[in-house]
């Protein structure tokens, strides 16, 4: 459990604070997260963090970029852990700033465990997860009364049947619920075919939300069978959230 309650002044916490910055619009960070950020001595940031938040930091704040780009520049998690530990042991107020929510495919809990094992105080300020907030902002509810009673958030960074995949794609295909795919642009076509092979209808609605919550946001409506083709034709690049299910047609 975190060492301090959130009711304490977020800017006075001595240790590491994991802050979720939300889906991209700088206004969507929580009040607690913003207070912690503005009170930090060191900010360790990811690539999907809104630049406007970083521009508002004081000149003496140390800003450390540990961005991970798909199939490109990559900062190893052990190196990120080492930076957090080093700055915290130096008595700095450290904020680990991540896009979305740190515990939704953000490796946040790995960092919590590492810091706890080293005896460093650590706490978490959740952020709006892109998996829910991005579709909502684009006019797509992940659930709707009389349409669907469940939704599943899935990482698509490895394709179905890959030995590293932990997803039960057959169960997802057999379900009636909404599927929200994150980090799935590269593998979307094979995921769509796997869902169809497992029983999902070829014409089931799907939507791709690119750059969700930002000025460059695009919403592409398509079907499950045409998902891969739509991504190619529209030249979709991450970040993008893919919604599969009847709600994508609402």
- Give pLDDT tens digits for 129-140: 999 999 999 999
Listed residue (155, 126, 108) closest to 22, CA to CA: 126
How many domains in the chain? 2
Contact 167, 205 (CB under 8 A): no
Listed residue (26, 58, 21, 213) closest to 134, CA to CA: 213
Query: 220 in a domain, yes or no?
Result: yes
Question: Where residue 69 falls among pLDDT bands split at 50, 70, 90?
Answer: low
Question: Where residue 48 falls among pLDDT bands split at 50, 70, 90?
Answer: confident
Query: 183 in a domain, yes or no?
Result: yes
Contact 170, 199 (CB under 8 A): no
**Catalytic residue ranges:** 46, 68, 183
Same domain, 210 and 121: no
Question: Where residue 47 falls among pLDDT bands split at 50, 70, 90?
Answer: confident
> What's the confidence (pLDDT) of residue 75?
84
Question: Where residue 73 falls among pLDDT bands split at 50, 70, 90?
Answer: low
What is d(CA 160, CA 183) in angstroms, rounded to the nearest whole number?
13
Whichever domain contains 149, its CATH number is: 3.30.950.10
Same domain, 91 and 180: no
Tokens of 102: 């740190």
pTM: 0.91
**pLDDT at position 184 over 50:** yes
Same domain, 140 and 115: no
Same domain, 141 and 31: no
Listed residue (146, 82, 88) closest to 114, CA to CA: 82
Same domain, 136 and 59: no
Contact 213, 52 (CB under 8 A): no
Domain housing 236: 130-249
């Amino acid at each position: 459990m975190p060492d301090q309650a959130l009711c304490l002044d977020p800017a006075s916490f001595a240790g590491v604070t994991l802050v979720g910055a939300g889906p991209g619009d700088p206004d969507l960070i929580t009040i607690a997260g913003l207070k912690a950020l503005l009170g930090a001595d060191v900010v360790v940031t990811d690539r999907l963090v809104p630049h406007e938040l970083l521009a508002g930091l004081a000149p003496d704040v140390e800003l450390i970029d540990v961005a991970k780009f798909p199939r490109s520049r990559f900062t190893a998690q052990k190196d990120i852990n080492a930076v957090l530990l080093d700055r915290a042991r130096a008595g700095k107020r450290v904020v680990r700033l991540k896009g979305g929510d740190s515990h939704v495919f953000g490796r946040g809990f790995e960092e919590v465990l590492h810091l706890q094992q080293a005896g460093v105080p650590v706490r978490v300020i959740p952020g709006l997860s892109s998996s829910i907030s991005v579709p909502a902002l684009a006019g797509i509810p992940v659930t709707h009364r009389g349409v669907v009673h469940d939704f599943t958030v899935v990482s698509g960074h490895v394709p179905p049947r890959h030995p590293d995949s932990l997803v039960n794609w057959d169960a997802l295909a057999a379900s009636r619920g909404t599927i929200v795919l994150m980090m799935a642009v590269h593998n979307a076509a094979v995921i769509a075919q796997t869902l169809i092979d497992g029983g999902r209808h070829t014409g089931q609605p799907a939507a791709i939300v690119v750059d969700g919550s930002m000025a460059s946001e695009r919403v592409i409506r398509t079907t499950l069978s045409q998902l891969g083709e739509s991504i190619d034709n529209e030249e979709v690049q991450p970040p993008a959230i893919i919604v599969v299910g009847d709600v994508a047609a609402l």
